[in-house]
Amino acid sequence: MSPTNSITIKNKRFVPYINTNEINDIIIKTASDISNYYKNIINADNPLIIVGVLNGAFMFLSDLVKHLDFPCEIHFIKVSSYIGTETSGTITNIIGLNTDIHNKHVLIIEDIIDTGITINNLIENLSSYLPTKINICTLFFKEENYNGKNIDIRFIGKKILNKFIVGYGLDYDNFGRNLNSIYILDS
Residues belonging to the active site: 114
Under DSSP, the state recorded for 44 is: T
CB 95 within 8 A of CB 54: yes
CB 139 within 8 A of CB 26: yes
Distance CA 118, CA 66 (A): 25
Distance CA 47, CA 34 (A): 13
Size (the chain), residues: 187
Nearest CA among 109, 41, 121 for reference residue 80: 121
Nearest CA among 50, 45, 95 for reference residue 68: 50
Distance CA 105, CA 50 (A): 9
* Pairing outcome for strands 105-113 and 133-141: parallel
